[in-house]
A and B are shown apart, each in its own frame.
Chain A
Amino acid sequence: MDLGLWIEWIVKAIILIVVLLIGFMYLTYMERKFLARFQNRYGPNRAGPVGLLQPMADGIKLIFKEEVIPKQADKLIFILAPVITVIPAWVILAVIPLGSIQLFGRTIDFSLAGDLNVGILYIMAVTSISVYGIVLAGWSSNNKYALLGGIRSSAQMISYELALGLAFVGPAMMASSLSLARIVEAQSKTVWFAVLQPIGFVVFLVAALAEINRSPFDMPEAEQELTAGYHVEYSGMKFAMFMLTEYTKMIVVSVIAATLFLGGYHFPFLTDRWPWLGPLVLFAKVIILLFGIIWVRATLPRVRYDQLMALGWKVMLPAALLNVFITAGVMYVLGMIA
């Protein structure tokens, strides 16, 4: 192992986190701007030209806010919970392939570990860890609303994790690999898996919205019944970290959806000709998906909790299983013919 490799990894890791941080800042701006237009308002337009400095202003404000730790709270876990929440959101994208270029006679892979042979399972593992931050935040606050919100969100997340996991099976079957690089490659040879796996794609999108506690499944933010859910007692930077996680997760699921079902960094002709366009192509797909997520928030009302769990267990799970069965059946018959 040479030093160059280590430096390469460290640089890539820092770039990934910085991109996610900037993405988070401007995603909040994008969402506020779009929601405002949906509601016939202007949205943030005071800080900087057309409000472009608004995210910085928010960040600086939050740094200088007082942080309250409630009495009887479990101090250590109370401080640890936001940290545990944010780490999975930052590390999950390590296995996303971004294409590679030839430079100075050397192949430079843009991604950190895009060809990991257990890529899909890695995503599942990191997703399953992200429940902890929420459950611990709710528990350590010593607040009824927080506890209730934390338990509710965690039950919601594990319920939809199943549909999410089953939606991964289709692409894995078609690409014969759990490596995301192979999955993108398989799509570049045929068509996007969204075309071949329509049920899987829809199941993935809905389950992903629920998994990241996003509208219309934003139970933890049901202000009317839970005041704010698991992060009621948090303030200042720690509160900001929960927001950061929520928005980072929006980016993350969009990236994963684009990679699994929309061809990832690959675009016909474009990236075959200019491979360095890979990350930009993925970026464009992600922006479109993010716009969809914001649009959904502007359109749909929040789902009631019992409806949410019923949807997860009685519709999404059977639909995802059915998709596996259909994919297996069709592929088996096609294999017989060929």
Chain B
Amino acid sequence: MLQDYLPIVILVLIATGMAGLVVLLGHLFGPRRPSARKAQPYESGMRPIGPGTRRMPIRFYLIAVLFILFDIEIVFLLPWAVVFKKLGLFGVAEMLVFILILLVGYVYAWKKGALEWE
């Protein structure tokens, strides 16, 4: 069991090392001639106006909430899909009900305009 995951751990470690190496390459060989102008945030050549970090619209938050909802649905769907062939009508109907309840939320969000971007 642990053996199944060890190669992935090794791959992650090697990938991390490689990525660090690439960043290091740029640091080692790139010239460094900093100036105050260069360090300014890029705004199409104009002087930056106001702070760089702004508040984000609430829309993105709602999208993330909807995302969690359906992400959990998928996580439940996958083990169900694996045993689907062995399930009876009850098991299939069970999942149908689960999805339908979540779809109520989806339709609600749609009707409230949470999916509209103007």
- A associates with B: yes
Residues of A whose CB lies within 8 Å of any CB of B are: 1, 5-6, 9-10, 12-14, 16-17, 62-72, 79, 82-83, 86-87, 90-91, 94-95, 112-113, 115-117, 120-122, 124, 128, 139, 141-147, 151, 155, 158-159, 161-162, 165-166, 168-169, 172-173, 176-178, 227, 232-233, 236-238, 240-241, 244, 305-306, 309-310, 313-314, 317, 321, 324, 328, 331-332, 335
A65 CA to B38 CA in the complex, in Å? 14
CB-contacts of B1-47 with A (<8 A): 3-8, 10-12, 14-16, 18-20, 22-23, 25-27, 29-34, 36, 38-44
A166 CA to B103 CA in the complex, in Å? 14
Residues of B whose CB lies within 8 Å of any CB of A are: 3-8, 10-12, 14-16, 18-20, 22-23, 25-27, 29-34, 36, 38-44, 48, 50, 52-54, 56, 60, 63-64, 66-67, 70-71, 74-75, 77-79, 81-85, 89, 92, 95, 99, 103, 106, 110, 115-118
Among B4, B75, B81, chain A packs the most CB atoms within 10 A around the CB of: B81
User: Quick check: B29 and A144 within 8 Å, CB to CB?
Assistant: no
Closest 8 CB pairs of A and B: A237-B26, A142-B52, A306-B117, A165-B74, A71-B39, A90-B15, A172-B81, A173-B81
- B60 contacts which chain A residues (CB < 8 A)? 151, 155
Instruction: Choose one: A66, A176, A238, A310; the contact of B83 (CB below 8 Å).
Output: A176
- A63 contacts which chain B residues (CB < 8 A)? 25-26, 29-30
- B14 contacts which chain A residues (CB < 8 A)? 10, 13-14, 17
- A144 contacts which chain B residues (CB < 8 A)? 41, 43, 48, 50, 52, 54
A332 CA to B84 CA in the complex, in Å? 9
- B41 contacts which chain A residues (CB < 8 A)? 70-72, 141-144, 233
- B6 contacts which chain A residues (CB < 8 A)? 9
List, sorted by A's number, 16 A–B pairs whose CB atoms are closer than 8 Å.
Answer: A9-B6, A72-B52, A79-B23, A87-B12, A112-B11, A121-B75, A143-B42, A151-B56, A158-B67, A161-B67, A178-B79, A227-B44, A310-B117, A314-B110, A328-B84, A332-B92
User: Quick check: B15 and A91 within 8 Å, CB to CB?
Assistant: yes
Contact flag A9-B52 (CB < 8 Å), given A168-B78, A176-B84, A177-B82:
no
Chain A contact surface mostly: helix
Would you give the shortest CB distance from A59 to chain B, in whole angstroms? 10
Contact flag A169-B78 (CB < 8 Å), given A63-B29, A145-B43:
yes
- A238 contacts which chain B residues (CB < 8 A)? 23, 26
A6 CA to B83 CA in the complex, in Å? 34
A332 CA to B7 CA in the complex, in Å? 37
A151 CA to B57 CA in the complex, in Å? 10
Chain B contact surface mostly: helix
- B56 contacts which chain A residues (CB < 8 A)? 147, 151
User: Quick check: B23 and A147 within 8 Å, CB to CB?
Assistant: no
- B5 contacts which chain A residues (CB < 8 A)? 113, 116
